[in-house]
Amino acid sequence: MFTGLIQALGQVQFIGSDRVKVSCVGNGSNLILTDLAIGDSVSVDGICLTVIEILPRGFVAAASPETLGRTTLGQSDDRFVNLETSLRVGSKLGGHFVMGHIDGIGFLQAKEQTMTSWEMSFTTTEAIARYIVPKGSIAVNGISLTIADYDDARWWFKVAVIPLTYAETNLCYLQLGDAVNLEADILGKYAAKSLYSGSSQNSLVENGNSELNTAFLAENGYI
């Protein structure tokens, strides 16, 4: 489990078809490498990977066919990725609970610099869009971000990124059309599971409403 607060950047390079070398770069490298051990979990662009070898300035992780097929990990070598070590008991939780299990890929639709932030818009899929709510959380390339605006019909959402986050993550390297890894908030998934099962599911059907929406969540005490 992770928090979505990025500690460092890295660069990826594939070693064969199922292993990826991650080289840490920049001032945050020590946050990743200190006490890192074989078997540890590290979030690489939001993907939970298991360390199988320790290197002087990085590590090697295993990458399954499922991971490569569902994420952006295998798209190119030497690109920058966001890194975060797993959450430890007693650590501060400054973002939200990020599992490192990617739900799907989104694409950068627009970005604009304002006086106080970078506004970035992404397209997504119906499967992810159903969990997006106003002021809710989403992980974009492993970064915990807050939904500023969204459109259910077009499967689209916008986030406002503070300058520090923009400069110290790989968001600053994204170009229009680039793919990103998306993970919906795990709490929203459990809420949806609860509402769609048992009496809650019957209530939805009886009311002629098969869709999870903010009005239903508010009525049932989830928001």
> Are 68 and 30 in a shared domain?
yes
Q: Is it the case that residue 3 has pLDDT exceeding 60?
A: yes
Is the alpha carbon torsion for 18, 108, 142, 181 positive or negative? negative
> Are 200 and 157 in a shared domain?
no
What was the pLDDT predicted at 101?
A: 93
At residue 194 the predicted structure's pLDDT band, cuts being 50, 70 and 90, is confident
More confident position, 10 or 188? 10
Q: Is it the case that residue 203 has pLDDT exceeding 60?
A: no
At residue 97 the predicted structure's pLDDT band, cuts being 50, 70 and 90, is confident
User: What mean pLDDT is predicted for residues 119-147?
Assistant: 93
At residue 67 the predicted structure's pLDDT band, cuts being 50, 70 and 90, is very high
What was the pLDDT predicted at 77?
A: 72
Specify the CATH number for the domain of residue 131. 2.40.30.20
Contact 147, 157 (CB under 8 A): yes
Range of the domain at 16: 8-85
At residue 192 the predicted structure's pLDDT band, cuts being 50, 70 and 90, is confident
- Whether residue 92 is contained in a domain is answered as no
Q: Is it the case that residue 103 has pLDDT exceeding 70?
A: yes
Instruction: Using the 3D structure, point to which of 37, 57, 85 is the last residue of a domain.
Output: 85
What was the pLDDT predicted at 204?
A: 46
User: What mean pLDDT is predicted for residues 176-203?
Assistant: 77
What was the pLDDT predicted at 182?
A: 97
Stated pTM of the model: 0.84
- Whether residue 110 is contained in a domain is answered as yes
Instruction: Using the 3D structure, point to which of 51, 85, 119 is the last residue of a domain.
Output: 85
- Whether residue 1 is contained in a domain is answered as no
| Of the candidates 106, 122, 103, the residue with the CA atom closest to the CA atom of residue 188 | 103
- By residue count, the chain amounts to 223
- Whether residue 2 is contained in a domain is answered as no
185 CB contacts (<8 Å, ≥6 apart)? 96, 97, 131, 136, 137, 138
At residue 116 the predicted structure's pLDDT band, cuts being 50, 70 and 90, is very high
More confident position, 108 or 87? 108
> Are 172 and 203 in a shared domain?
no
More confident position, 214 or 189? 189
> Are 209 and 164 in a shared domain?
no
